[in-house]
């Protein structure tokens, strides 16, 4: 339906017609109140806490200063003490004081009163002090971790790591949680590994699992009935008797020393084997000795053992080595000849010798002592004309610990008192020592000697 011509003209006239009354002008806006200075921002988290790292023994909580809205006085303290090492959760920041009601706005006609400028630096923590404090706490954290790492020997930590790795792999294979785990799963793990592992190894595996759970904040009750019942059955089935390595007796030691070559490596081997036997050293203790630990005196040789398996804090122990009755098997002369030939004036006394007869600067390892002893036994037994099969079978019963065990067994067979043996070996407990001397003492104190049979 179209629009008539008259209607269109009326519509156009009404559209263009000015309004009846002009619009009232807008009232002027009241001046805005001055913005309050921003509260100091909370420090960035990466600046206040070190990067996440696997906690070995502890993981301190780093607490920052007051956050937003803490007030000027608290903000100034945050500039002086930005970080604080705490072991308890931080108390919630105090709420800011209630703000006073804003002043009544002035009438539009009069200009607003100007507020004095405010020094914002007084409410902000000093960034340089904050960074310095953060760096210091980071250094302290790293130093604390080093001390925590030193609380256990490297050998113990390697053993625990291998034990935990085996348990974690077993749990992954059987679709079971490893951390935290349940006592029932630990019992199943012990049951599975009991077929192939020794009792001492299983005991260490259980200790490693418990220790890691403790360090991660998940205490594991190893006294749980599920674990104790299975562990008791394993002990009964396997027996508590420990199968140790053969002790190196004096007759075999003498044969070894006499069959070593006369070159530089042979001089080192004689000194190492004789000193390891005469001092009842563990292989780790033997390779840890330095030139400064030896003192030749008219009575023989004094050896200072700085640290040992049972002396992790380094209290130290002094051992005496008497001259031997025979020059070829005298420990004191053997050590003197080795030091003179190798020209060692400081540092480790037992070092590798390469095929060119050159003495290396680093020290021997404990595993090298075990290999050296086995090679020397093989050479000595072959020199006796024994069949190769018998030689290989006999050498399997020896290890680096055979030197220490040989001293204890031989001393007991010669009638030495237990306290005298313990003074040389450093044993803390008599029952531990008696496991070594049982074989050497079995015939000496046998009541059958006094019977007329």
Which of 201, 217, 238 is the last residue before a domain boundary? 238
Which of 238, 263, 293 is the last residue before a domain boundary? 238
Position of tokens 């018998």? 390
Report whether 241 contacts 397 (CB < 8 A): no
Which of 238, 266, 298 is the last residue before a domain boundary? 238
Q: Pick the closest to residue 68 from 121, 119, 123, 120 (CA basis).
A: 123
Q: Which residue has the higher pLDDT, 374 or 89?
A: 374
Report whether 277 contacts 406 (CB < 8 A): yes
Residues 279 and 234 in one domain: no
| Catalytic-residue membership of 282 | yes
Q: State the pLDDT at residue 423.
A: 86
- 335 in helix, strand or coil? helix
What is the arithmetic mean of pLDDT over 100-121?
Answer: 54
Lowest mean pLDDT among 31-40, 136-145, 178-187, 370-379: 31-40
Number of domains in the chain: 2
Write the pLDDT tens digit of every residue in 333-379.
999 999 999 999 999 999 999 988 899 999 999 899 999 999 999 99
Q: Which residues pair with 302 in a beta bridge?
A: 295, 320
Residues 290 and 184 in one domain: no
Residue 44: pLDDT band by 50, 70, 90 thresholds?
very low
Q: State the pLDDT at residue 92.
A: 42
Residues 407 and 303 in one domain: yes
List the catalytic residue out of 124, 213, 282, 283: 282
CATH number of the structural domain spanning residue 177: 1.10.150.130
- Paired tokens of 58: 């502890």
Residues 231 and 265 in one domain: no
Lowest mean pLDDT among 54-63, 127-136, 226-235, 405-414: 54-63
List the catalytic residue out of 283, 319, 404, 407: 404
Report whether 131 contacts 48 (CB < 8 A): no
Position of tokens 């945050």? 78
Residue 175: pLDDT band by 50, 70, 90 thresholds?
very high
| Catalytic-residue membership of 419 | no
- What is the spatial distance between Cα 421 and Cα 405, in angstroms, rounded to a whole number? 11
The pTM is what? 0.58
Residues 222 and 274 in one domain: no
Residues 310 and 425 in one domain: yes
- 208 in helix, strand or coil? helix
Q: State the pLDDT at residue 152.
A: 74
What is the arithmetic mean of pLDDT over 301-324?
Answer: 81
Residues 382 and 288 in one domain: yes
Residue 384 lies inside a defined structural domain of this protein: yes
Residues 256 and 205 in one domain: no
Residues 354 and 406 in one domain: yes
Reply yes or no on whether the pLDDT at 41 is more than 70: no
Residues 189 and 167 in one domain: yes
Residue 13: pLDDT band by 50, 70, 90 thresholds?
very low
List the catalytic residue out of 185, 189, 407, 436: 436
Residue 83 lies inside a defined structural domain of this protein: no
Residue 266 lies inside a defined structural domain of this protein: yes
Residues 328 and 405 in one domain: yes
Residue 342 belongs to domain spanning: 250-441
- 177 in helix, strand or coil? coil
Residue 419: pLDDT band by 50, 70, 90 thresholds?
confident
**Helix H or strand E encompassing 85:** strand 84-86
Average pLDDT across the chain, whole number: 75
What is the arithmetic mean of pLDDT over 240-250?
Answer: 76
List the catalytic residue out of 309, 360, 371, 438: 309
Lowest mean pLDDT among 263-267, 297-301, 413-417: 413-417
CATH number of the structural domain spanning residue 402: 1.10.443.10
Report whether 284 contacts 401 (CB < 8 A): no
Write the pLDDT tens digit of every residue in 177-195.
999 999 999 999 999 999 8
Residue 140 lies inside a defined structural domain of this protein: no
| Catalytic-residue membership of 147 | no
Residues 379 and 429 in one domain: yes
| Catalytic-residue membership of 404 | yes
Residues ≥6 apart with Cβ < 8 Å to 132: none
Residue 155: pLDDT band by 50, 70, 90 thresholds?
confident
Reply yes or no on whether the pLDDT at 99 is more than 80: no
| Catalytic-residue membership of 436 | yes
């Amino acid at each position: 339906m179209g629009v008539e011509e008259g209607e269109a003209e009326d519509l156009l006239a009404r559209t263009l017609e000015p309004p009846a009354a002009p619009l009232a002008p807008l009232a002027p806006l009241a001046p805005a109140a001055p913005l309050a200075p921003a509260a100091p921002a909370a420090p960035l988290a990466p600046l206040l806490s070190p990067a996440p790292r696997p906690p070995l023994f502890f993981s301190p909580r780093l607490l920052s200063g007051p956050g937003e809205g803490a007030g000027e006085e608290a903000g100034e303290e945050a500039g002086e003490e930005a970080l604080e090492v705490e072991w308890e959760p931080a108390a919630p920041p105090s709420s800011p004081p209630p703000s006073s009601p804003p002043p009544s706005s002035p009438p539009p006609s009069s200009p607003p009163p100007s507020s004095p400028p405010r020094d914002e630096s007084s409410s902000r923590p000093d960034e340089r002090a904050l960074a310095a404090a953060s760096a210091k706490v980071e250094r302290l954290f790293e130093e604390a971790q080093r001390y925590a790492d030193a609380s256990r020997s490297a050998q113990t930590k390697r053993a625990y790591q291998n034990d935990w790795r085996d348990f974690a792999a077993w749990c992954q294979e059987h679709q079971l949680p490893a951390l935290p785990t349940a006592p029932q799963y630990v019992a199943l793990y012990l049951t599975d590994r009991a077929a192939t592992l020794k009792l001492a190894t299983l005991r260490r595996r259980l200790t490693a699992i418990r220790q890691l759970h403790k360090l991660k904040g998940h205490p594991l009750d190893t006294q749980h009935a599920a674990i104790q019942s299975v562990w008791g059955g394993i002990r009964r089935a396997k027996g508590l008797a420990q199968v140790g390595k053969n002790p190196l007796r004096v007759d075999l030691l003498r044969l070894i020393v006499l069959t070593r070559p006369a070159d530089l490596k042979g001089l080192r081997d004689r000194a190492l084997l004789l000193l390891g036997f005469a001092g009842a050293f563990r292989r780790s203790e033997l390779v840890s000795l330095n030139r400064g630990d030896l003192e030749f005196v008219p009575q023989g040789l004094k050896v200072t053992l700085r640290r040992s398996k049972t002396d992790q804090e380094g209290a130290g122990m002094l051992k005496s080595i008497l001259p031997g009755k025979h020059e070829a098997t005298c420990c004191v002369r053997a050590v003197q000849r080795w030091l003179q030939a190798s020209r060692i004036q400081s540092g480790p006394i037992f070092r590798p010798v390469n095929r060119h007869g050159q003495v290396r600067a680093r020290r021997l390892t404990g595993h090298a002592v075990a290999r050296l002893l086995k090679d020397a036994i093989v050479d000595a037994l072959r020199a006796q004309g024994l069949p190769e099969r018998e030689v290989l079978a006999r050498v399997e019963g020896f290890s680096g610990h055979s030197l220490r065990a040989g001293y204890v067994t031989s001393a007991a067979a010669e009638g030495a008192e237990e306290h005298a043996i313990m003074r040389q070996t450093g044993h803390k407990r008599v029952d531990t020592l008696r496991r070594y001397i049982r074989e050497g003492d079995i015939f000496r104190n046998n009541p059958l000697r006094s019977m007329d049979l």
